[in-house]
Amino acid sequence: MADPRRTDSAAVAETGMTVRLTEDVEWISECYPVGDRHLHVSLYLIRCPGGNIVVDSGSFYHRESIESRLTAATRGQGIQALILSHSDYPHSGNIPSFRREWGDFEIVASCADAGVQGLPYARRSRIGETLEVLGREFTFLDPPLADRSHTTWVYDRESRVMFVADGFGNYHETGTCRLTSSELAEEDRALGIRDFHAGALKWLRYVDPPKLSGQLRRLLEEHPVSFVAPIHGNPIAAANLERYLSMLEASVQEIADGYVVAEQSDRQSEESR
């Protein structure tokens, strides 16, 4: 007998509501215009026997579209759980609206103090632990590419999709909004990857690139992926991951090399005199 989830997922993906990544993980792609390019502000839907889980909620900027897509994609069932990577508004902004629409579903969020983050009703996830959500196991990872203290990356152990919040993003050209890495011309992405990380993760100007790269690669080795699923970029299939990582590492090196601290610059000038 065919898996009903698979049939449903494929049919929905064909209608354009979602983009299917794996058998039961779908990407709900939303975009925000930045100059003549776009920035994804997406979320992901996981269909499991215990119900529908979303990873992040998207931005209130896209509220109507997201709720409409989720309603259609779930055939009116809505969502039964939400896993939040962090409380930044473009990731968490629709939680109150989802709760009005679909009731008090379970919310799993990383933070030391849920009340301070405005999520008093959330179940806390801790970096390094694995939690069951609607019967499915998720591991919460310490994210090498993030800004907020309480951000976690979320590894779905069944699909092997790694949800990476603000990491692995890229600006993209119009017309490529709903494409995954295997459909994109990778050579055209380098600039979008560099510009995204330079703008979103400003601390990269201080980074020691080999340290960061080593940690990223260790994490990916320990958690083999089918897809890397960023909120602010096109999803990256395992087959294209090495190429993306090369572009990311080159970007990080360029960002770090491009920033010289005034104090060091002054000292170098004095030494050269």
Partner 1 sequence: MHREIEPGFYWIQECGPHREGIAEAVRGRGGTWCPPGRELHVPQNAYLLRGERSLLFDTLSPEGGELIIEELDRILAGASLDYLVVSHPDVPHAGNTARILRQYPEAQLVAPGEGDTHALYHLDQALKVVPGDELDLGGPIVRFHEATFLDAALHVWMTEERTRTLFPVDWLGFPHLDGECLRFVDELDVDIGIERLTEFHSRVLFWFQYVDVDKTRAEVEHLARKYRPSRIAPAHGLVIRNDIEHYFELMKDVVSRVAESGRVGVL
| Binding region for partner 1 (CB under 8 A) | 32, 34-35, 39, 41, 59-61, 87-90, 93, 110-113, 115-118, 120, 126-127, 142, 144, 146-150, 199-203, 206-208, 211-212, 215, 256, 261-264, 267
Residue among 89 and 239 whose Cβ is closer to partner 1: 89
Shortest approach of partner 1 to residue 24 CB, angstroms?
A: 29
Residue among 52 and 85 whose Cβ is closer to partner 1: 85
**Contact present, 39 and 32 (Cβ < 8 Å):** yes
Residue among 71 and 215 whose Cβ is closer to partner 1: 215
Shortest approach of partner 1 to residue 212 CB, angstroms?
A: 5
Shortest approach of partner 1 to residue 262 CB, angstroms?
A: 5
Shortest approach of partner 1 to residue 74 CB, angstroms?
A: 25
Q: Which two tokens stand for residue 99?
A: 């709760």
DSSP structure string for 11-45: HHHHHTS-EE-SSSEEEE--EEEETTEEEE--EEE
> Which residues 6+ apart lie within 8 Å of 238 measured at CB?
224, 225, 226, 227
Shortest approach of partner 1 to residue 181 CB, angstroms?
A: 23
**Contact present, 218 and 205 (Cβ < 8 Å):** no
Best CA proximity match to 145, nearest among 210, 93, 203: 203
> Measured between alpha carbons, how far is 114 from 147 in angstroms, rounded to an integer?
18
> Which residues 6+ apart lie within 8 Å of 156 measured at CB?
25, 46, 136, 137, 138, 162, 163
Residue among 71 and 253 whose Cβ is closer to partner 1: 253
Shortest approach of partner 1 to residue 206 CB, angstroms?
A: 4
**Class of residue 250 by CB neighbours under 10 A (exposed 0-12, middle 13-18, buried 19+):** middle
Shortest approach of partner 1 to residue 48 CB, angstroms?
A: 27
Residue among 23 and 118 whose Cβ is closer to partner 1: 118
Residue among 148 and 223 whose Cβ is closer to partner 1: 148
Residue among 203 and 273 whose Cβ is closer to partner 1: 203
Shortest approach of partner 1 to residue 179 CB, angstroms?
A: 22
Best CA proximity match to 232, nearest among 81, 110, 90, 21: 90
Would you call 51 helix, strand, or coil by DSSP?
strand
Residue among 38 and 47 whose Cβ is closer to partner 1: 38
Q: Which residues pair with 229 in a beta bridge?
A: 163
DSSP structure string for 154-197: EEETTTTEEE-TTSS--EEETT-TT--GGGS-GGGGHHHHHHHH
> Measured between alpha carbons, how far is 171 from 91 in angstroms, rounded to an integer?
17
